[in-house]
């Protein structure tokens, strides 16, 4: 993988690499594990057995992906990332799924996350972005059960006042704009209707801060686009929401 450190420096740099792409951030550690020498690999107890993985890959080989475009190894890569996310999926005491913001090497050693609960429901590191990634993967692989779980996780997040209170700005990256943009796309593909009222009420009245930059990810351009945009254009494709 381009950019992935080799040799003794990998252990120091992997935590910095994790978290760069929505929904795929946790897969970097999995790639690191598979490329490491056998004696250095860590295991997650909930990961599927090799025989199960091989059988699933065989069954999916003939399935078309969402846009009818297939590349060698594509379904296997999507499946592997989904299984990685499954292994690190957490449950709140009262119900509802969430995923760690970052998986560190210490977490890998212990096989469990050090994060005590879900953090802010952002596009970049939070449950909304991961849920959308899993929803897209489920649609591509024709897995309605996974799609329902992803949509349920998003709804649980959307109805959790504690998580919503962690959103402190209106940016696309980690604010209310990103939540609304992600919600629009999840709702557009959802198996059951999802209301956009809550994310709209959170974002649309939000005032720009005095020092808000004019940029896209963390600035006024992205925040304003989230306010007025729809899913009829692909302006948010660069956020990997399509």
158: left (phi over 0), alpha (psi -120 to 50) or beta: alpha
| φ, ψ dihedrals at 235, nearest 5° | -60, -30
Q: Are 177 and 226 in contact (CB under 8 A)?
A: yes
What is the Rg, in whole angstroms, of the alpha carbon atoms belonging to the chain? 18
User: Of 98, 204, 101, which Cα lies nearest the Cα of 154?
Assistant: 98
User: Of 120, 104, 111, 116, which Cα lies nearest the Cα of 169?
Assistant: 120
pLDDT at 41 over 60: no
pLDDT in tens, 175-224: 999 999 999 999 999 999 999 999 999 998 877 888 899 999 999 999 99
Domains identified in the chain and CATH numbers: 76-239 (1.50.10.20)
Sign of the CA dihedral 11, 13, 16, 22? Answer: negative
Buried b / exposed e across 142-168, counting CB within 10 Å, b at 16+?
ebeebbebbbebbbbbbebeebbeebe
Query: Residue 30: which pLDDT band, with cuts at 50, 70 and 90?
Result: very low
Mean pLDDT on 27-33: 35
**pTM to 2 decimals?**
0.74
Q: Are 127 and 89 in contact (CB under 8 A)?
A: no
The reported pLDDT for the residue numbered 223 is: 94
Sign of the CA dihedral 113, 92, 117, 10? Answer: positive
Within a 10 A sphere around the Cβ of 189, how many other Cβ atoms? 17
pLDDT at 242 over 80: yes
Query: Residue 64: which pLDDT band, with cuts at 50, 70 and 90?
Result: low
Q: Is 75 exposed, middle or buried (0-12, 13-18, 19+ CB in 10 A)?
A: buried
Query: Residue 95: which pLDDT band, with cuts at 50, 70 and 90?
Result: confident
The reported pLDDT for the residue numbered 9 is: 41
Crossing angle of helices 127-141 and 144-158, in 10° steps, is 160
pLDDT at 49 over 70: no
């Amino acid at each position: 993988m381009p950019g992935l450190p080799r040799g003794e420096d990998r252990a120091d740099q992997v935590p910095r690499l994790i978290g760069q792409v929505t929904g795929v951030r946790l897969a970097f550690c999995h790639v690191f594990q598979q490329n490491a020498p056998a004696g250095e690999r860590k295991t997650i107890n909930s990961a599927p057995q090799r025989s199960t993985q091989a059988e699933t890959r065989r069954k999916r080989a003939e399935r078309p992906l969402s846009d009818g475009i297939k590349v060698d190894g594509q379904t296997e890569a999507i499946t592997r990332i989904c299984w990685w996310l499954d292994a690190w999926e957490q449950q709140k005491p009262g119900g509802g799924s969430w995923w760690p913001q970052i998986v560190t090497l210490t977490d890998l050693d212990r096989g469990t996350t050090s994060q005590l609960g879900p953090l802010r429901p952002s596009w970049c590191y939070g449950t909304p972005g991961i849920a959308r990634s899993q929803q897209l993967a489920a649609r591509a692989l024709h897995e309605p059960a996974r799609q329902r779980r992803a949509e349920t996780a998003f709804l649980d997040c959307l109805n959790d006042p504690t998580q919503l209170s962690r959103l402190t700005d209106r940016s696309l990256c980690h604010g209310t704009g990103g939540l609304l943009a992600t919600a629009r796309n999840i709702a557009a593909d959802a198996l059951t209707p999802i209301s956009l009222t809550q994310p709209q009420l959170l974002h649309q009245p939000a005032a720009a801060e005095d020092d808000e930059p004019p940029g896209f990810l963390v600035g006024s351009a992205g925040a304003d686009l989230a306010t007025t945009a729809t899913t009829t254009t692909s302006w948010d494709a660069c956020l990997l929401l399509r």
